[in-house]
Amino acid sequence: MAIRPEAIRVRLKKFREMIARLERIRARGEEIYNNDDLLQSAAERALQIASQCILDIGNHIIAEMLLPLPGDNDEIVNTLKTAGIISEDLSSRLAGLGGFRNVLVHDYLTLDQGRIFHEHLGHLDDLRDFAAEIVKFLDTIDKEQQ
């Protein structure tokens, strides 16, 4: 196993920055969010980057551990679950992440801001839990490399 913890930590740092940004946006409240197109754009971009961080971290781990290559972005989270890197509960909560990231990037004309506020800004614990489980995984790697 040739995991480079620093490559993952750099992405985790950016990931946590996006979570903090999303928390500030959510704290403004739904009414303000619904009436502020700049706030909506900021949320969309932060969600896109956060999603991409998860996928990049997953791809790095999968490649370095020589795990079965996922067929698409949605399979990355499942591969991490199968390898015991993230929990089954978290994997089910993150299901559809790859597809959502693709909607943010490619199908931006169809975005439902109410759904983004409730389903994504309302479930930031899922993102925090991903970071915590990856940190736990990195702690294991660090101990093995000592």
| Within-domain flag for 146 | no
| Within-domain flag for 107 | yes
- Residue range 22-60, pLDDT digits in tens: 999 999 999 999 999 999 999 999 999 999 999 999 999
- Position 146 scores a pLDDT of 66
CATH number at residue 42: 1.20.120.580
- Residue range 84-103, pLDDT digits in tens: 999 999 999 999 999 999 99
Is residue 4 helix, strand or coil?
coil
- Position 1 scores a pLDDT of 54
Tokens (6 digits) for 133? 């489980």
Rg (CA), the chain: 16
Cα–Cα distance between 43 and 32 in angstroms, integer?
13
Determine the straight-line distance between the first and last CA of the chain, rounded to whole angstroms: 14
**Sequence-ordered alpha helix ranges (H) in 1-146:** 5-27, 30-34, 37-64, 73-82, 88-93, 97-106, 113-115, 124-145
Model confidence at 9: pLDDT above 60: yes
- Residue range 99-139, pLDDT digits in tens: 999 999 998 888 999 999 999 999 999 999 999 999 999 99
| Within-domain flag for 19 | yes
Cβ pair 15, 48 in contact under 8 A: no
- Residue range 57-86, pLDDT digits in tens: 999 999 999 999 999 998 999 999 999 999
Cβ pair 79, 62 in contact under 8 A: yes
Cα–Cα distance between 67 and 129 in angstroms, integer?
22
Model confidence at 144: pLDDT above 80: no
Number of C-beta neighbours around residue 77 at 10 A = 25
| Within-domain flag for 21 | yes
What is the value of pTM for the model shown? 0.94
Cβ pair 99, 55 in contact under 8 A: no
What is the residue type of 129? D
Domain ranges, residue 58: 5-141
Please count the structural domains in the chain: 1
